[in-house]
Structure 1
Amino acid sequence: MRLQPVPADELEASWWRRNEPRFRLTDEARLSALRRSVFTDAVDLVKPGRPIKVTTYVFAAGGVDVDAMHTLLGQHARDRGWAVDRERFTDKPVRGPLPIRPQFHSACRRASCGYVDGVLTTGRNAMPSNVEAYEAYLRWLHRHGAFVAFPKPNIGGPEWTGQ
């Protein structure tokens, strides 16, 4: 796990007097653990015998072959025994101060409404970069029994495996 020191001004008085460093998870490590927990809880809600149904989402930054990425994500889902929804979502970067991802929001809405169990996407870089926004999406999906999952490349093994 990735840890970061807790600033002295955030320590309780009794801890600070001991003059020992205190550590906590980084935001990314905390959100990664939350995403895995949301995934596990949502999968546990799926009735036995029913395949998990996902939609795919791609954030098409800088030269990404959108169709190929959706195909890889779909193949990863099918390799796990999941069903892939026919609707897929793609955002392209927009110039400006905030990266806007309306299609990611639509994919999450589809999951939160129960049409699919989760959103399968390429990785953390496809999620909102703002920590608070990403956490809000994870908690929103958790309240609706849905998840966001990332495939992991496995060097030397099948092309895409893991959660």
Structure 2
Amino acid sequence: MDIDNDRSRQTALRPNISGRLAAMRRWIMSEALESRGGKPVTVDLYALGVDPVTTHLRTRTYSLEMGWNIGETFSDPYGTPDPMQRPGWSRLCERLAGGYAQGVVVVGQCDVTTSVDEYESTLQWMQSHCVFVDFVLPHLPVASCA
């Protein structure tokens, strides 16, 4: 009985956590863009999966529609929940930390991670480096990534 109550509580809290993280992502992006003071914004593109060409095309189209310059493209064919364990994502973060790009565009959150804790850590890292992540499909449920 207690196990069922714990599961119900976790299920009920998930939308609140997802909403909080979505708001956090939007706020970080707003702050990073505002800090540019009207200067051009360069974004890198990232794809997780075996077909990065299609994903990069979608993220490139979206980025250009947003008026951003395209930096480099990165991909990993598969990934652990911790994105920093992926070679492509790690190289991307080195560029972001070095100031070569101000953000990264992915199709959806599952390109970053399906782990709520890792996603929050990633957002905190981005905030501390004044960079952002944007999604082509901001409302893509993480469950559809599995």
Which of 33, 37, 43 is the equivalent residue of 2:33? Answer: 43
Structure 1 contact 108–119 (Cα < 8 Å) conserved: no
- Closer, same or farther: CA 24–104 of 1 in aligned 2, 3 Å: closer
Task: For 1:112 and 1:54, locate their aligned partners in 2 and report how far apart those are by CA, in whole Å.
Answer: 13
Structure 1 contact 38–147 (Cα < 8 Å) conserved: yes
1:102 equivalent in alignment to 2:118: no
Runs of 4+ in structure 1 displaced over 4 angstroms?
none
Q: Percent identity?
A: 29
Q: Which moved more, 1:37-46 or 1:71-80?
A: 71-80
Alignment partner, residue 130 of structure 2: 145
Unaligned 5+ segments in structure 1 are 1-6, 8-22, 154-163
Q: Choose between structure 1 and 2: higher helix proportion.
A: 2
1:55 equivalent in alignment to 2:61: no
Task: For 1:24 and 1:91, locate their aligned partners in 2 and report how far apart those are by CA, in whole Å.
Answer: 27
* Larger RCO (CA under 8 A, 6+ residues apart): 2
Q: TM-score, normalised by structure 2?
A: 0.75
Alignment partner, residue 141 of structure 2: none
Structure 1 contact 54–116 (Cα < 8 Å) conserved: yes
Alignment partner, residue 157 of structure 1: none
Amino acid at match of 1:26: N
Which of 16, 20, 26 is the equivalent residue of 1:30? Answer: 20
Q: What number of residue pairs does the alignment pair up?
A: 127
1:81 equivalent in alignment to 2:67: yes
CA RMSD of aligned residues (A): 2.6
The structure with the larger Rg is 1
Q: Which moved more, 1:126-135 or 1:33-42?
A: 126-135
